Amino acid sequence: MKIATIEFPERSVFLAPMEDVTDPSFRLMCKRFGADMVYTEFVSSDALVRNVNSTMRKLQVSDQERPVAIQIYGKDPQTMAEAARMCEQAHPDIIDINFGCPVKKVAGKGAGAGLLKDIPRMLEITKAVVDAVKVPVTVKTRLGWDMENRNIVDIAEALQDQGIAALTIHGRTRSQMYTGEADWSLIAAVKNNPRMHIPIIGNGDITSAEICRQRFDETGVDAVMIGRASFGRPWIFKEVKHYLQTGEIWDESNAWKLEVLKEQVLQGVQMIKDQRAEKYSEASAEKSGIMHIRRHLAATPLFKGIPNFKETRIAMLRAENLTDLFAIMDTIF
């Protein structure tokens, strides 16, 4: 499978772009366990052209995580084009346009999935970005605005006509947000549309290796993208890739997984320390780093099903330094 000139393995598995999740440390962790491509957090085009420091930091990519895509969002074609040119200077392999984020502060302002209500502007933005840069441009979007407007088959053709190199489709409408089940039948309809010649990447509810293979078999998509199922579980890429290649279930001990989580915490904390060394004390940066990683500790399936775990979970999420956090984690298994 190719996206422009970039070659990927057959049945590739990508890490989805997620705000406050796909920071550099997490991307490298997922890459280590087999993610075939990783994406940055969402980058606001408006904030980027204003040189907002926190947004500029999101452009930091490293050779170790390649191929890597920077994802941008916005509602103005010229601003999006300028933001894409700025992103290109960070040397990503791909620039991805976010037409799928459903949250009110994005979609409600006419960006992200909000553009599913204004297809002409969506296409204008796409064309402006494609024309602005030399790197491949891809798009991530949803099935449509709501259940009465699931027009992704027509949208996909129109986006392809603007020159994008690949399309990722999340199997929900904007109105569904993240509720209900992802509908892969329309993703399959896009993939099997004879007019489509670019790679199609499916996204939504890939929570296990078995489901991943089922989606490949049923839809014929070129790649799948894993999002929320990677929270506190970066080894999911190892699970999926091993199953796709061998048909066998890969697993490791809970003790091994706990050590991976602790390593993820350490790397996340170190990233925050590196970013904020000039503004924060060592203790403050450590506390901030732990707060940043709490999402993964709260969501990891590693702790599910443990009897009487509530108090331990609360203590773990309230820890403010690594010594206390790891002491609690070491009591779990």
Helix (H, G, I), strand (E, B), or coil: what is residue 41?
strand
Cα three-residue angle 11-15-17, rounded to 5 degrees: 135
Same-domain check for residues 108 and 218: yes
Same-domain check for residues 197 and 263: no
Cα three-residue angle 152-153-156, rounded to 5 degrees: 75
Cβ contacts of 89 within 8 Å, gap of 6 or more: none
Cβ contacts of 196 within 8 Å, gap of 6 or more: 156, 157, 160, 190
Alpha-carbon span 321 to 296, nearest angstrom: 16
| The dihedral sign for the CA sequence 210, 213, 217, 223 | positive
Alpha-carbon span 261 to 300, nearest angstrom: 9
Same-domain check for residues 225 and 286: no
Same-domain check for residues 44 and 168: yes
DSSP label at residue 12? E
262 pLDDT band, cuts 50/70/90, is very high
Same-domain check for residues 216 and 263: no
Segment 204-215 mean pLDDT: 98
Same-domain check for residues 123 and 260: no
Same-domain check for residues 275 and 306: yes
pLDDT for res 249: 94
278 has a pLDDT exceeding 70: no
Segment 199-218 mean pLDDT: 98
DSSP label at residue 83? H
Tell me whether residue 101 is one of the annotated catalytic residues: yes
Q: What is the pLDDT of residues 298-327, one digit of tens each?
A: 999 999 999 999 999 999 999 999 999 999
Q: CATH number of the domain that 50 lies in?
A: 3.20.20.70
Same-domain check for residues 210 and 273: no
Q: pTM to 2 decimals?
A: 0.95
Q: Which of 213, 246, 279 is the last residue of a domain?
A: 246
Same-domain check for residues 142 and 168: yes
DSSP 188-237: HHHHT-TT--S-EEEES---SHHHHHHHHHHH--SEEEE-GGGTT-TTHH
Q: Which of 227, 246, 265 is the last residue of a domain?
A: 246
Nearest 5°: phi and psi at 25? -65, -40
Q: Which of 246, 279, 312 is the last residue of a domain?
A: 246
Q: How many domains does the chain have?
A: 2
Same-domain check for residues 233 and 155: yes
Helix (H, G, I), strand (E, B), or coil: what is residue 97?
strand
* DSSP bridge partners of 170: 142, 203
Same-domain check for residues 230 and 296: no
Least confident of 189-203, 254-268, 279-293: 279-293
Q: What is the pLDDT of residues 163-207, one digit of tens each?
A: 999 999 999 999 999 999 999 999 999 999 999 999 999 999 999
pLDDT for res 199: 98
Go through the chain and tell me how many residues it has.
333
Same-domain check for residues 48 and 147: yes
Q: What is the pLDDT of residues 60-103, one digit of tens each?
A: 999 999 999 999 999 999 999 999 999 999 999 999 999 999 99
Alpha-helical runs (H) found in the chain: 24-32, 45-49, 53-57, 77-88, 104-107, 119-132, 152-161, 185-191, 209-219, 236-246, 254-276, 282-299, 310-318, 322-329
250 has a pLDDT exceeding 90: yes
**Catalytic member of 30, 87, 101, 212:** 101
Q: Which residue range forms the structural domain that includes residue 198?
A: 2-246
